[in-house]
Amino acid sequence: MVDEIDMTTMFKRRYKMRSVGEDGLNTVVSIPRIVLQREAEKRGITLAQFLESYRAVATFDNIDGIYYTFEPIKEKGQNDAR
């Protein structure tokens, strides 16, 4: 899935993290607005439409760090929020 990534061509910004949920079960980090705008533009929709119809997907474990992608939200009753 994630092959070699040339980090020298990537943007880099640092963000604070905050714990949420019972006993800090989850940690929240913001996704920069420009990232979401670019993803919406790629799909030919507005940012508002993108936020309504897509969700962020985190891939992690066998890679160094976390790799985020975006996928369409499934129909009601088919939500897979794992």
Q: 55 - beta bridge partners?
A: 71
pLDDT, residue 47, reads 97
Specify the amino acid at residue 54. Answer: Y
pLDDT in tens, the chain (82 residues): 456 667 777 788 888 889 998 888 888 888 999 999 999 999 999 999 999 999 999 998 887 888 889 999 987 655 555 5
Helix, strand, or coil (residue 48): helix
CA distances from 82 to 41, 58, 59 (A): 27, 10, 11
